[in-house]
Amino acid sequence: MRLIVGLGNPGPGHAGNRHNIGFMAVDRIVHRHRFAAPKSRFDGYLQEGEIAGERALALRPLTYMNESGRSVAAAARFYKIPPEDVLVIHDEIDLVPGKLRVKRGGGAGGHNGLRSIDQHLGPDYWRIRLGVGHPGVAELVKAYVLQDFLAEERPGVVRFVEAVAEAFPLLLASLDRNDPTRFISKVHVLVNPPPPKPKREPPSEPPAEGSD
């Protein structure tokens, strides 16, 4: 069984924030794969379901970002899910919108949600990093991630998280091989579909003999 975690901050005031793209992605995953209704457990919303025949839990901690680890570790302990079967979806300022990276283990990279999970669970879990862009100045990062996506960005964000949800079975199937390449490629194609091929016109028939 896998534990899929989306990181964000609770409350309607944060719903559209860049920092909440993890919540947005899990929302689409549970909707697409028809998980059960959410229950209030482990200081968060927990939902059960299956993805491509594999049982999974989806968790959105309601502890605020800085305390996400308490919720994640409590759920993992209760269900006896090891860190290598925990997948955490979060925002990444060092990737442009629409880009993602997947990695098991590593550092928190300044992300307070990851830092909290590292403290409570250890670092050996999967991180699905969804790009939200960078403001260009380090001093503006904190305010930037707590701002809503701009109106012109929102259609792309919706397409991005829908793509993650659609391709998610490929990620689960790849974890034992430690090779999420197919998942990443599928998301990229869904976010950036190739232009349609131009229709080939049928060859024109030569004029009939004797015609003017």
Q: Annotated catalytic sites, by residue?
A: 19
Instruction: Give the gyration radius of the chain's Cα atoms.
Output: 21
Residue 88 pairs in a beta bridge with 5, 127
Cα 59 to Cα 3: distance, rounded to the nearest angstrom: 7
| Residues belonging to the chain | 212
Q: Please give the single-letter amino acid code of residue 173.
A: A
Q: Which of 16, 25, 4 is nearest to 164 (CA)?
A: 25
Q: In what order do the strands lie in the sheet with 126-131?
A: 39-41, 44-51, 54-61, 2-6, 86-92, 126-131, 100-104
The DSSP line for 156-191 is HHHHHHHHHHHHHHHHHHHGGGT--HHHHHHHHHHH
Distances (CA, A) of 49 to 34, 35, 37, 125: 7, 4, 10, 20
